[in-house]
Amino acid sequence: CMGVGMTGPPHLGTVGQVLTGVELQAAGLDVQFVIADLEPYHGGADLERVRRLAERYREFALDVGFDPKRGVLRTQEAAREVMHTAELLAPYYAPERWDDDDEEDSDGDDGEETAWSRAVRELYEDAADGSDSDGPTSEAASTHSALLHGADFLHPLYAQGYEQVVVTLGVDEHGLTPWSRRFRDAAPVEGAIAGLHTRMVSGFGNTPKMSKSVGAGVSLDTKPEVIRDRFASAGDGGDPSASPTFQAMCLASRYESGELDRLERLCAEGGGAWVDARRAYADYVVELAERWQSTK
């Protein structure tokens, strides 16, 4: 079970989620990919804008290779059977009463803030300037949104006969795995829940996270020349673990492992071959951007 939020056009982290779903399908796994359209609506976004954006996400996922015959590609609004599961599990949704485990608190986060998580929090706080989600919202909408997220994860166990669900999200959302287990334990749901989390990619400009919200990432609504300039000016050869470009190659590409090994060596060497590799990857991202923009 995996999915994407819809705060706007996809960025490379979003692309990584979609391509991971494609690869998991190729490996023979049943993949449920959720386009979380009701989350921004519950937060005050315009419903018609949300619906159109969700349709664009669906078109893009299909275009880059997600096979709806071998998995489920859905929005939250369209999945009425999952809403039904949410209503049936609602009496058990009481996070304030769920037992904590020894390692993580009731929200599923580590008890002590790390230097990285603090840097990310401060970065978003500095960048906060309001949003286009200025429509009506309420505490009930927030609670229902959280309940529906839980149903997204538990529905395969509760109503579809699966024995195990693997929650596949970015590592910054790792808390949703133990949170889902606590919800399962409180409700009449049986089955195993595991987590598979992608690493966070450092952002351009020495920022701790690649994010379009703070101008440190690459959004697919960006013009081709801007995308190419961003990678050309990165100057990030030398340390692959600190290179936003190489980390993006690992997360959001169709490179095989052998090719990634080669690119890692080129990044470490930092010569002309790495410049060429960055240029080739920028061209690939431009192609993705053109595919996204064609969904308008």
What pLDDT, in 10s, does the model give residues 143-196? 999 999 999 999 999 999 999 999 998 888 889 999 999 999 999 999 999 999
pLDDT over 60 (residue 104):
no
Q: Provide the pLDDT confidence category of residue 105 given band limits of 50, 70 and 90.
A: very low
pLDDT number for residue 177: 95
pLDDT number for residue 198: 83
Which letter, b or e, does each residue of 15-33 get, where b requires 16 or more Cβ atoms within 10 Å of its Cβ? Answer: bbbbbbbbebbeeeeebbb
Q: Provide the pLDDT confidence category of residue 106 given band limits of 50, 70 and 90.
A: very low
pLDDT over 80 (residue 100):
no
pLDDT over 70 (residue 208):
no
Span 59-75, pLDDT tens digits: 999 999 999 999 999 99
Phi, psi of 103 (to 5 degrees): -105, -30
pLDDT over 80 (residue 214):
no
Q: Which domains does the chain have, with CATH numbers?
A: 2-198 (3.40.50.620), 218-293 (no CATH)
Q: What's the number of CA atoms in the CB half-sphere (13 Å) around residue 247? A: 22
Alpha-carbon distance 266 to 275, whole Å?
A: 9
Q: Which residue has the higher pLDDT, 210 or 22?
A: 22
pLDDT over 50 (residue 102):
no
Closest CA to 8 of 50, 68, 63, 71: 50
pLDDT number for residue 19: 94
Q: Which residue has the higher pLDDT, 284 or 108?
A: 284
Least confident range from 44-53, 72-81, 105-114, 264-273: namely: 105-114
Q: Which residue has the higher pLDDT, 58 or 238?
A: 58
pLDDT over 70 (residue 98):
yes
pLDDT over 90 (residue 76):
yes
pLDDT over 80 (residue 262):
yes
pLDDT over 70 (residue 212):
no
For the chain, what percent of residues have pLDDT higher than 70? 85
Closest CA to 281 of 230, 205, 211: 230
pLDDT over 80 (residue 108):
no
pLDDT number for residue 280: 97
Euclidean distance between the first and the last CA atom of the chain, given in angstroms as a whole number: 27
Span 2-27, pLDDT tens digits: 999 888 899 998 999 999 999 999 99
Least confident range from 95-104, 124-133, 256-265: namely: 124-133
Q: Which residue has the higher pLDDT, 242 or 193?
A: 193
Calculate ∠ Cα 104-124-170, nearest 5°: 50
pLDDT number for residue 132: 58
